Amino acid sequence: MHFGFELKKQFQNQNEKNNSNQTLKTNSKSKVRITFLSIIIIFILLVKKQIRNHRFTSLAHQIEHDS
């Protein structure tokens, strides 16, 4: 009887450890995804800014040339 109780207790402890490890893995995957998406968004915003600056510079040169 006591042996069965110990086995059950060990099994429950192992399950709790496995669940905890799985949660940590899931959380770290989520952090990696969020970081990756953040980098992509920042890159897109920088490219948009560069395009806007280029258009403004081109327009300024055109106005200067036309004057």
**Each residue's pLDDT tens digit, 30-66:** 999 999 999 999 999 999 999 988 888 888 888 888 8
pTM over 0.75: no
Amino acid in position 64: E
d(C-alpha 20, C-alpha 39), whole Å: 29
Tokens of 20: 């905890």
**pLDDT at residue 24 in the model:** 85
Confidence of residue 1 (pLDDT cuts 50, 70, 90): low
